[in-house]
Amino acid sequence: MLRTSMDLEDTLHEITLPFFVLHGEADIVTDPEISKALFEKASTRDKTIKLYPGMWHGLTSGEPDANVDLVFADIVNWLDARTGDSASLTVTPVHDFTSNVQKVVDGVSNGQGKSKRPQASLLCGLNGGGRRLVHRSSM
């Protein structure tokens, strides 16, 4: 993984396609400053960086569902803006959660007692009932 990261860093100046960097500011696995530096090094004119205050490394897993919804909404909107599809709709998170990102402290939401995390209601294999769809390989 380190070799791949180093190869990526060495070739970022060659990137000419749209480039989107997302990073949790509370990430202790990968320093957000690394993503900022990679973003700056990319030579493409169409580049965007989105930092999420209080969010950790796994922006789409391990975060409260409202945070995950926000990240997916940002991704979908970024992609839609670049497809030229005039019929596309703006996607918003299920919860209006753009003003403050829910912080997770020691794996507990808002520092309160542990509670069962509710399931999200859309995107990535989730249906309206909140049941996650799991693919199990026959191998």
How confident is the model at residue 59, as a pLDDT?
Answer: 95
DSSP designation for 126: B
The angle at the Cα of 60, spanning 55 to 65, to the nearest 5 degrees, equals: 80
Whole-structure pTM value = 0.59
CA distance 98 to 109: 17
Domain count, the chain: 1
Cβ atoms 27, 57 nearer than 8 A: yes
Average pLDDT across each block of 10 residues of the chain; the chain has 139 residues. List them in order. 80 89 94 91 93 95 94 95 72 56 46 42 42 44
| Residue spans of alpha helices (H) in the chain | 2-11, 32-41, 65-83
- Are the CB atoms for 83 and 91 separated by under 8 Å? no
In a domain, 23, yes or no: yes
User: Domain range spanning residue 56?
Assistant: 2-109
Altogether, the residues listed in the chain come to a count of: 139
Q: Does any domain span residue 81?
A: yes
**How many CB atoms lie under 10 A from the CB of residue 74?**
19
Inside any domain, residue 127: no
Q: Is residue 138, in this structure, part of any structural domain at all?
A: no
> How far, rounded to the nearest angstrom, does the alpha carbon of residue 73 sit from its chain's CA centroid?
9
What confidence score (pLDDT) does residue 101 get?
52
Q: Is 44 a member of any domain? A: yes
Pairing type for strands 47-52 and 19-24 reads: parallel
Q: Which CATH number do you get for residue 105?
A: 3.40.50.1820
